Chain A
Amino acid sequence: MHWTSNIVVVLLLLGGFWLARVVSKSRFWRESAVELWRRRRTAIVVVAVFVLVALLDSIAWIGGGEGVAAYQPRSIIDRVFQPDSFREASYSAPFARTAFYGSQPLKHPGAHWFGTDILGRDVVYRALKGVRVALLIGVFTSLIVIPLALLFGVVAGYFGRRLDDAVFFVMTVLASVPSLLLLIALITVLGKGTLQVCFALGVTSWVGFCRLARGETLKLREADYVASARALGVSDARIIMRHILPNLAHLIIITFALTFTGLVLTETILSYLGVGIDGSWGQMIDQARNELSRTPVIWWNLAAAAVLLFALVLAVNTIADAMRDIADPRTRRETQ
């Protein structure tokens, strides 16, 4: 398992370099990238940090450590935090020197910036482990959802008739089942795991965007420039590639951001229902739920997960917002 994850990291890095090369070659994309950086510096830095943490958490190998840990693949984050020894007996407050209940001195006084949870695990470590899970859910599921929804939506909207009826029937059937119920059913059947949850989320969340893409295509199909393209002898496939999809680009970007953040949030709900992914922020929040009713309140578990969740969702949304403005030549700043 840890090998696939390592290979994915390498592929992602190669893909990143390739993308950077492509972007730097085309004037349009280079200017867009510069403009995006100019407008959303903070958000990009935040997302970059998240991505870096997720990558560091994905590179794992066996070796080092003591006891059971010596036989398990451990990621760079694991090796930095040493969770087996860097822990307490139970709750401790941020920067505390003594335990939360009782007054025994901590093993690592003042070292837990966000305290520890009920099992004494460092909260910063747990929250950082959640980054990888969140990005996996968001990116992986979006990569299933968007091409699928786009394909069905554009084809249904453009060609209409039987194809439209077929796609619309599937969409209506999926939409008529409560999506949370369907999600739970799918996860129960497929089993609990990151890939399984991503797949289940993908199946249930493509309908909304598909309907949007279909509607927008219906509108664009009647556009004058599509009519004039037909009068120029352009084929249907080319009209879709050159006229329909580029004009859907702003929708795709916005939807990517919304599904990405929406999926991360949905996973939180799944964790609350007990079918989420292990190690996610949703689980942290779910566990923190009980702690809020204690006196004095134990808030740091919830706070750590919520702050990271909020930062990621906000950063991705603001970047997507700026990207939409930049990708559309009508709202793009004039660069002469």
Chain B
Amino acid sequence: MSAPLSGPILAIDRLAVSFPAESGRVTVVDRVQLAIAPGETLALVGESGCGKSVTALSIMRLVPRPGRIEPDSRIRFDGRDLLSLSVPEMRALRGGQIGMIFQEPMTSLNPVTSVGRQVEEAILLHAAISAGEARRRTVELFGMVGIPEPEMRVDAYPHQLSGGLKQRVMIAMAMAMRPRLLICDEPTTALDATIRAQILELIRNLAATTGTAVLLITHDFGVVNVVADRVAVMYAGQIVEEGTREELLARPRHPYTQGLLRSIPRPEARGRRLEEIKGAVPRPGQWPAACRFHTRCPVAMAGCYIHDPACSDVSPTQRAWCHLVAEELRQ
């Protein structure tokens, strides 16, 4: 892989996605700004309903229908503006240069077709090769994602495989065309804890050997710790903090990130009440004005109720959108 030094493989800027509601359009993703370098793994972390999945679907241009990507959003993939591509061009990119893995391996495979057949079709869709060649590649892929006895498993139907094996099939399907970018939407949430680590390991190894960039969506800091190079934290449709894994896990600056990290159960805190972030995630459309976290923020200041926080560069790689962080940096 001759990854150019310049330019990320994926660059998202000012991404906003809105859905219609009774009271006009509700913006569920707002001013999202992200960049992923080739071969890098970026974890997008946040609570349920904070807009992680919608961000991922926007990259694929698969936001479900009444939803709409706002016109001044920019998504550039490999130098091309994804939002101005035609439908067939976009379709060629999906599954070709951009692969996607979903949360539910149980229901993400067609129950009436053998799993091998489904992977073959994914290959034939993007590569001009014979059916026999596609089958050979499928067996090879099954071996690559660690499915035992791949020659036999290609003829299996989804209900004959375990959840972990199905997720491996999904990974094989997404990786079939050696995509430049792999989007994983909570790939391990539906799996057993023991299988979880294996699948993460597999994704990490595949990404490393093929040079694929990975956008990993999760709400689990355990997952972040295993695979991520960089982390972006989302709250109420906005990115609130971004940085390398070491920076964010060791020196989180945004109160929300700090709260999230404090609420992870620890062995030394056994017996004591788990810390939590007070309050509940506001529903889309009821997001507070100015800093959206101010209703739950333990250190909110007067300015937090009035102004939208600007981006503050904590380090060359770490950024936070917080008035307090900006204040601290000024001093």
The interface of chain A, by Cβ under 8 A from chain B, is 223-225, 227-235, 238, 242-243, 246-247, 249, 328-330
Tell me the smallest distance from the CB of B152 to a CB of chain A, in Å.
10
**Cβ contact within 8 Å between A224 and B102:** yes
Q: In the complex, which range does the number of interface residues on chain B fall in?
A: 20 to 34
Asked if residues A227 and B62 are in contact (CB atoms below 8 Å), the reply is yes
User: Would you call B94 and A231 a contact (CB within 8 A)?
Assistant: yes
Residues of B within 8 A of A (CB): 60, 62, 90-96, 99-100, 102, 104, 107-113, 121-122, 125-126, 157, 159, 170, 173-174
Q: Whole-angstrom distance between the alpha carbons of A90 and B251 in the complex? A: 105
15 additional contacts (CB under 8 A) given A225-B110, A229-B110, A234-B91: A224-B102, A225-B107, A225-B111, A228-B170, A231-B60, A231-B62, A231-B94, A231-B100, A231-B102, A231-B174, A234-B95, A234-B125, A246-B113, A329-B112, A330-B111
Selected contact of B96 from candidates A230, A233, A328, CB within 8 Å:
A233
Give which listed residue, B104, B112, B126, contacts A224 with CB less than 8 A. Answer: B104
Distance between Cα atoms of A264 and B94 in the complex (Å) = 49
21 contacts between A and B (CB under 8 A): A224-B104, A225-B109, A225-B111, A227-B108, A228-B108, A231-B60, A231-B94, A231-B174, A232-B125, A232-B173, A233-B92, A233-B94, A233-B96, A233-B125, A234-B125, A246-B113, A247-B110, A247-B111, A247-B112, A328-B112, A329-B157
* CB nearest neighbor in B for A330: B159
Q: Which residues of A contact B112 (CB under 8 A)?
A: 246-247, 249, 328-329
Main secondary structure of the interface of A (DSSP, over half): helix
A230 CA to B173 CA in the complex, in Å? 13
Shortest distance in angstroms between A7's beta carbon and chain B's nearest beta carbon? 37
In whole angstroms, how far apart are the Cα atoms of A252 and B107 in the complex?
22
Contact (Cβ within 8 A) A243 B62: no
Bound-complex Cα distance A264 to B125 (A): 44
Q: Which of A233, A235, A328, A330 has the most CB of B within 10 A?
A: A233
In the assembled complex, the CB of A304 is this many whole angstroms from the nearest CB of chain B, namely 42
Residues of B within 8 A of A242 (CB): 110, 113, 121
User: Given that A228-B100, A330-B159 are contacting pairs, would A233 and B91 also be in contact in the complex, using a CB cutoff of 8 Å?
Assistant: yes
Q: A11–B135 Cα gap in the complex (Å)? A: 37
- A234 CA to B100 CA in the complex, in Å? 13
Measured in the bound complex, the distance between the Cα atoms of B90 and A233 in whole Å is 8
With both chains docked as a complex, state the minimum distance between the C-beta of B132 and any C-beta of chain A, in angstroms.
16
Are B102 and A232 interface neighbours, CB within 8 A? no
For the complex formed, measure the closest distance between the CB of B312 and the CB atoms of chain A, giving whole angstroms.
Answer: 35
Interface SS of B by simple majority: mixed
Query: With a CB–CB cut-off of 8 A, which chain A residues contact B126?
Result: 233
Give complex CA distance A153, B109 in Å: 23
Q: Are A232 and B122 in contact, with the CB atoms below 8 A?
A: yes
A327: min CB distance to chain B, Å: 8
CB distance from B124 to the nearest CB of A (A): 11
Return chain B residues, CB-CB under 8 Å to A228.
Answer: 100, 102, 108-109, 170, 173
- Count chain B CB atoms within 10 A of each CB in A223, A231, A238, A243 and give the residue with the most: A231
Point out the residue from B91, B121, B159, B173 that lies within 8 Å of A329, measured CB to CB.
B159
The closest CB in chain B to the CB of A244 belongs to: B110
B60 proximity list for chain A (CB < 8 A): 230-231
Chain A nearest CB from B184 CB (Å) reads 11
Select A330's contact among B92, B109, B157, beta carbons within 8 Å.
Answer: B157
Complex Cα spacing A210 to B122, Å = 30
B95 A329 Cβ-Cβ under 8 A: no
Identity of the chain B residue whose Cβ is nearest the Cβ of A329 in the assembled complex: B157
Instruction: List residues of chain A with CB within 8 A of the CB of B122.
Output: 232
Q: Using CB atoms, name the residue of chain B closest to A223.
A: B107
Flag if B93 contacts A224 (CB, 8 Å): no
B170 contacts which chain A residues (CB < 8 A)? 228
Q: With A and B bound together, what is the CA distance between A136 and B202 in angstroms?
A: 59
> Within the complex, what minimum Cβ distance (angstroms) separates A149 from chain B?
20
| Cα(A229)–Cα(B174), bound, Å | 10
- CB-CB under 8 A from A225, the residues of chain B are 107-111
Partner of A233, one of B95, B107, B113, B157: B95
With a CB–CB cut-off of 8 A, which chain B residues contact A249?
Answer: 112
B94 to chain A, nearest CB (A): 4
Which of chain A's residues have a CB closer than 8 A to the CB of B96?
Answer: 233
| B62:A230 contact, CB within 8 angstroms | yes
Contacts of B90 in A (CB 8 A): 233
Closest Cβ–Cβ distance, residue A31 to chain B (whole Å): 12
Q: Select from chain B the residue with minimum beta-carbon distance to A228.
A: B108
Interface centre among A230, A235, A243, A328 (most CB of B within 10 A): A230
- Smallest beta-carbon distance A38→chain B, Å: 20
Bound-state CA distance A231–B60 (Å) is 7
A243 to chain B, nearest CB (A): 5
Instruction: Kindly report which residue of chain A lies nearest to residue B61, judged by CB atoms.
Output: A230
Whose C-beta in chain A lies nearest to the C-beta of B87? A235
Cβ–Cβ < 8 Å partners of A243 in chain B: 110
* CB-based contact B102/A227 at 8 Å: yes
The minimal Cβ–Cβ distance linking B129 to chain A, given in whole angstroms, is 16
* A334: nearest chain-B partner, CB-CB: B160
The residues of A that contact B125 with a CB separation of less than 8 Å are 232-234, 238
Return the chain B residue nearest A160 by Cβ. Answer: B65
Question: A225-B109, A225-B110, A330-B157 known; A235 and B102 CB under 8 Å?
Answer: no
Shortest B115–chain A CB gap in Å is 11
Query: A228 to B122, alpha carbons, bound, how many Å?
Result: 10
Residues of A within 8 A of B157 (CB): 329-330
Question: Is A329 within 8 A of B107, CB to CB?
Answer: no
